[in-house]
Amino acid sequence: MSAVTTPITAPTTTHDGATEHHYLNHSSGFLSWALTLDHKRIGMMYLAGILFAFFLGGVFALAIRIHLWNPNQDPDAAWLTNATYNRVFTLHGAIMVFLFIIPSIPAALGNFLLPIMLGTKDVAFPRLNLGSFYLWITGLIFFAYTLFSTQIDTGWTFYTPYSIEAKSAVEAATLGVFILGFSSIFTGLNFIVTINTMRPPGMSWFKMPLFLWALYATSIIQVLATPVLGITVLLLALERTFGIGIFDPSLNGDPVTFQHFFWFYSHPAVYIMILPAMGIISELMSVHSHKGIFGYRMIAYSSIAIALFGFLVWGHHMFTSGMADVTTIVFSALTFTVSIPSAIKVFNWLGTMYQGTVALNTPMIYALAFIFLFTIGGLTGLFLGALATDMHLHDTYFVVAHFHYVMMGGTLVAFLGGLFHWWPKMTGKMFNDPMGIVSAAIVFVGFNLTFLPQFVLGTRGMPRRYASYVPEFQSLHQLSTVGACILGFGLLVAGLVLLHSLFYGKKAPMNPWGGATLEWECSSPPPHDNFSHPPAVGDPYDFANVEYDGKTGGYYKKKK
Amino acid sequence: MGRCAFQDPISENMTEVAAHTDGHDHGHHDHPSWLAHHFDDAEQQFDSGKLGMWLFLVTEILFFSGMFCAYVLYRNRNPEVFEFCSAFLNEKLGAINTGVLLFSSLTMAWAVRASQLKQHKLLVGMLGATLGCAAIFLGVKSVEYTHKWSLGLLPGRMYVAQMENGYHSDVDYLTPLCIAPAVLTVLFALYYVYSLVIASKFHQRVAGPLLVAGLCFFGGIYLGQFIEGGEHHGDSHGAHADAGHGEHASHDEEHAKEAGSETPAPAEASAASSDTGVALVSTSSGPLHDVAVDPKEAAIPNAEVNNQGMAGLFFSIYYCMTGVHAVHIIGGMLVISWLIVKAAREEFHSKYYGPVDNVGLYWHLVDFIWIYLFPLLYLIT
Amino acid sequence: MADTHSHSHSDHGHADGEFSHPMPVWMLLAVFFALLGLTFLTVFQAQFDLGSLEIVFSLIIASIKAGLVIAFFMHLVWDKPLNAIAIFSSLIFVALFLGFTLMDAQQYNERLIMDPKNEILENSTPKARLIKASE
């Protein structure tokens, strides 16, 4: 209910082709979007914003890869100067982490879907929801400032003491992170309250779609961990402004403390990134296999378990930082516990596909790619969690490849899968499925070509964040660069497929994939208030009554 | 309404199951103005708001936990520094501020009760009292801060206290701090006069508490200065009298009580610290040993901890913790002022008092944090 | 609304739809004076040297005060259990954060040598150098 709305009073509800009343045409004008309190519009604005941030981060990523085509042993002959290279990888990391991955699934897809899947009209605090979007925009502005002034060159982790001495816009970047942190907190807070207090009759905890369980677990982390990031970057900004010395060894401060503070947030933040992705995969696996999810409760509990275990393992980022011996051993041991709930999920997804009617359309191809890539990413994490191997692999390309397999191969691919899956619902338009599959295939090939060589580089000793390397590594680096270009092309194709659908796409049926969750019981796109009456809540993974309707090209739920 | 399923075969399914058919049609027409359209009833709205506020408090606690972590870490590492530096904090002012905050918590809790019982006048009064207490707190805090700044007790790198011949800045920090509150108070006074002129009950009810709060800030300043000044009264000259000695004078006072009661504890601490391999700088040849000029201070065996890095770190933590707390007080004052406006409009009743309750929760959390800050910072012996 | 609207405080005998429960004034005042008394106690106990127990005592008193504020002023006693779970879980996570960080710092404390002596003599800005004793 925005302040400036021009409600279209007589929704023409006809059958094929005619206009129909939904959230996109509910009101028009710039202010009807800028001041909207509708979670769907806020979700769409987030979507546009994070895709912009993703594009920005992607450009920096390509710059890194192109620079590394040559060994750059002579810095004067290199494409980027060493200082520029530092800035480019810092901005790539910071933008991708804080502006793209963390808000990607929860704030864009989650905002759009959570109330609809839950069967409510909106999130609990619509104003706070809009506020957190504008906080995100403010954070973006701070980052844009660092981009156009003296860019930060500290790495996205802002490690002290370098970040205290660095002559770049660290203050602006840290304040940006502080603001983005609060944006993330408010989104999480909103989701927790919505799920707790606004479930309609019949929507018990174990009737909730698994995507909502994943978002709930994510929100717990957002609420509990993000404030610590807030105080950390605030203290860092104060450190630079007033020299308070808490993290500054030259004033008797302790820089290792900064790393503790930072990773107390940033390790759980890894689960902020991956948990919603896992939730998407749970939906995709079940819907596109046309078979009930295998092990619903185990997947639900494992989401919560990952969220809680995620708080116990931050020290594994600091094994070589001068941590105490006992602490390193404790953290190493605890790190392995997180692999258990992750493995439970992977096995349950595979169990879901078994004997299902697997439809190999675009979202499912992305989901299958996710399982492959996430498994590699997860298993290589065990190498890094083991104390002895981490001593060798720390700060090498092995780490880089590992977290790209998890964050990009995991979160981004799942995000794309989810975007294709819910695109007909969000926009009301069907995309070109064969071209979508092509995009998924290119992304998959490009991704592996980019990052598999980096595992090899890492084990051979190529340190991360270096602008130059010994010539022996050149062939692997070039493979990686070629892969990055293919990956970029694949993402471009995916974007074009979605853009094309907006203009030339067929009208989407209510339920194009045959899902049984509540969002498929709304028209595509959904009406302004989602549900005028509390919807009938059933088992979200019961496909017995879902039948194909040749007339609309979609599915419908047969009445019992 | 059921328009979400108009063109598909299951539309009946959507409409027939509506258990709560009442109150869901087209949003608003039976929703009272204070009930947001997406909530079913008052209790759902109240519960949502309250859970949201508790979760916000959770984030606040974790936000402060970073500073508590730094506190625990450095106190554990250098307990003698914390002992030494804590003596610079005026525990009388700390105790008074604790009392003021506790009283404001009482009035806030009472305000919640008043809002539930539709005691509108009492509600405005209680909120006004809370606002006034917050202002007193900030007034006292301003005196504490500026007093320390003039002694050079600054955070980290800026710490300059007790260099060569002692340090005292003649810069008047307090007056600039008072400018904004003074302007606000004048504006509130004008607003109050205006409300009297137009004889608007509503505006009087809003302007009155605001004006009182503005005056309370200066009351707090007076109180702080009275007590801070009283501390130095026994000396021949006050803290602000003499650049060279003023600062010693104040330290005399503050350390006298400490030195009298417990000399052995710091000695133990220093022994313990050298055991753990932390070698503090010896001041016997350094420029800092003039700390021990005064015989009374010589009784403090750990005067040497007053080198910049160590003591500065304590004051960094002190300023960060109390500063962030003060920012929360200011934020609380803003929302309480907003509540006063709503209360003056008599908006609250037993089904809609969520805003008062939630701001109350926030205010009690600010009190909660101070309850820990007071002994941890002021009462280290 | 079956499970979301359970009246956890229905034992207070409110009519249906009534969810406010004003606290009696005597209770507010009693809590306030208890808090005030505990403040005097904590200032009073700070006069005595209790050695390492001092911090324990003052923290116990502070926790009692905090408990009174949370239980009564914030009426958690009558509140939905979820809110209590939220606030206590936050304390658990704070303990986790502090515990691990402190455990680590205590261990490597021994490897830290803070020796700002030379720097003070040179430029009177103290510096601490981190020297690993093990090396």
- pLDDT, tens digit (0-9, with 9 covering 90-100), for A59-69: 999 999 999 99
Domains delineated in chain A: 35-557 (1.20.210.10)
Indicate whether B305 belongs to any domain. Answer: yes
- A residues 318-357 lying closer than 8 A (beta carbon) to C: 322-327, 331
Q: Are C23 and C51 found together in one domain?
A: yes
Q: Write the residue in A238, A251, A557 that is nearest to B309 by C-beta.
A: A251
Instruction: Report the 10 Å Cβ neighbour count for B18.
Output: 20
User: Whose CA is closest to B265, among C42, C49, C48, C44?
Assistant: C49
Q: Are residues C86 and C46 in the same domain?
A: no
Q: Is the pLDDT of residue A254 over 90?
A: no
CA distance A301 to chain C (A): 18
Separation of alpha carbons B243 and A205, rounded Å: 69
Stretch (H or E) spanning A547:
strand A546-549
* Residue A294: other Cβ atoms inside 10 A: 21
Residue B130, pLDDT above cutoff 90: yes
Q: Do A249 and C100 touch (CB under 8 A)?
A: no
Residue C90 has its nearest CB partner, among B62, B279, B380, at B62
Same domain flag for C87 and C108: yes
Q: Is the dihedral of CA B254, B256, B260, B265 positive or negative?
A: positive
Largest Cα separation within chain C, whole Å, is 77
Kindly tell me the burial class for residue C135, based on how many C-beta atoms sit within 10 Å of its own C-beta (0-12, 13-18, 19 or more): exposed
Query: CA-CA distances (angstroms) from residue B179 to A387, B131, B186, B214, B224?
Result: 58, 19, 11, 12, 17
Q: Which domain holds residue C109?
A: 81-135
Residue B142 to residues A111, A230, B93, B146, B332, Cα–Cα distance (Å): 44, 26, 11, 6, 17
The string of pLDDT tens digits covering residues A482-527 is 999 999 999 999 999 999 999 999 999 999 999 999 999 888 899 9
| Chain C hits for B277, Cβ within 8 Å | 109-110, 112-113, 133
DSSP one-letter code for B154: -
Residue B58 included in any domain: no
If you average pLDDT over residues A95-107, what whole number do you get? Answer: 95
Integer CA distances (angstroms), C80 to A123, A441, C6, in order: 20, 50, 9
| Per-residue exposure over C19-45, b if at least 16 CB sit within 10 Å of its own CB, e if not | bbebbeeeebeebbeebbebbeebbeb
- Nearest Cα of chain A lies from the Cα of B26 at a distance, in angstroms, of 7
Which of B1, B21, B29, B38 to probe by mutation at the A interface, max A CB count within 10 Å? B38
Q: What is the mean pLDDT of residues B303-311?
A: 59
Number of folded domains that form chain C: 2
| Whether the predicted pLDDT of C12 surpasses 70 | no
Better pLDDT: C103 or A532: C103
Provide the angle, in degrees to the nearest 10, between the axes of the packed helices A413-427 and A39-67: 140
Helix axes A255-289, A362-385, angle to 10 degrees: 150
CA-closest candidate to residue B367, choices B72, B95, B104, B58: B104
Residue A371 Cα, gap to closest chain C Cα (Å): 31
B102 close to B95: Cβ distance less than 8 angstroms? no
How far apart CA A155 and CA A91 sit, in angstroms, is: 8
Nearest CB among A21, A232, A242 relative to B66 is that of A232
Per-residue model confidence (pLDDT) at position C111: 64
DSSP assignment of A451-490 equals HHHHHHHHHTT-BTT-S---GGGHHHHHHHHHHHHHHHHH
Find all residues with CB under 8 Å of A376, minimum gap 6, and list them: A405, A409
Q: Are residues C43 and C87 in the same domain?
A: no
Is B312 within the bounds of a domain?
Answer: yes
Q: What is the per-residue pLDDT for A50? A: 95
- pLDDT score at B370: 96
The 3-state DSSP class for residue A539 equals coil
Q: How far is A197 from chain C (nearest CA, A)?
A: 6
SS3 B166: strand
ω into residue A11 within 30 of 0, thus cis?
no
B143 domain residue, yes or no? yes
Of residues A483, A127, A166, A422, the one with CA closest to residue B52: A127
pLDDT at B161 over 90: no
Instruction: Name C57's Cβ contacts closer than 8 Å, sequence gap at least 6.
Output: C42, C45, C50
What residue in A sits closest to C130 (Cα-Cα)?
A249
Task: Tell me whether residue B157 is exposed, middle or buried, using C-beta atoms within 10 angstroms of its C-beta: 0 to 12, 13 to 18, 19 or more.
Answer: buried
The pLDDT of residue B375 is above 50: yes
CA-based R_g, chain C, Å:
24
Which of the residue ranges A260-269, A298-307, B166-175 would you say has the lowest mean pLDDT? B166-175
Q: Which pLDDT score is estimated for A549? A: 85
Nearest alpha-carbon partner for A227 in C68, B318, B69:
B69
Mean pLDDT of the region B142-166? 80
CA-nearest of A128, A533, A257 to B316 is: A257
Chain A / chain B CB contacts < 8 angstroms: 190
Left, alpha or beta for A515 (phi > 0: left; psi -120 to 50: alpha)?
beta
Q: What's the mean pLDDT when you consider all of chain B?
A: 76
Contact residues, C window 42-101, toward A, CB-based 8 Å cutoff: 82, 89-90, 93, 96-97, 100-101
Is B297 among the domain residues? yes
| pLDDT at residue number C113 | 53
Does residue A536 have a pLDDT over 90?
A: no
Indicate if C106 and C46 belong to the same structural domain: no
Mark whether C67 and C115 lie in a shared domain.
Answer: no
- What ipTM was estimated for this complex? 0.92
Q: Please name the residue of chain B whose CA is at the shortest distance from the CA of residue C30.
A: B106
Q: What is the pLDDT of residue B299?
A: 35
How many domains does the structure of chain B reveal?
Answer: 1
If you search the block for the tokens 């455990």, which residue do you land on?
C103
Give dist(CA A190, CA A194) in Å, integer.
Answer: 6
Residues of A in contact with C1 (CB under 8 A): 201
At B307, the pLDDT band (50, 70, 90 cuts) reads low
Q: Which residues contact A450 (CB under 8 A, 6 or more apart)?
A: A65, A404, A480, A483, A484, A486, A487
pLDDT band at C128 (very low <50, low <70, confident <90, very high): very low
What number is the average pLDDT over the span B252-258?
40
Per-residue pLDDT band at B304 (split at 50, 70, 90): low
Q: Are residues C53 and C31 in the same domain?
A: yes
Q: Say if residue C54's pLDDT is above 70.
A: yes
HSE-up (13 A, CA, CB side) for residue A123: 33
Q: Is the pLDDT of residue A160 over 50?
A: yes
Kindly state whether residues C74 and C95 are assigned to the same domain. Answer: no
Q: Which amino acid is at B358?
A: N
What is residue A507's DSSP assignment?
A: B
Q: Has residue B163 been placed in a domain?
A: yes
In a domain, residue B49? The reply is no
A18, closest residue in chain B (CA to CA): B7
Give the neighbours of chain B: at least 3 Cβ pairs within 8 Å.
Answer: A, C
More confident residue, A550 or C64: C64
Residue C26, amino acid:
W
Structure tokens at A478: 């070039």
Domain range holding B195? 72-265+288-378
Assess whether C49 and C115 both reside in one domain: no
Chain A contact present for C133, CB below 8 A: no
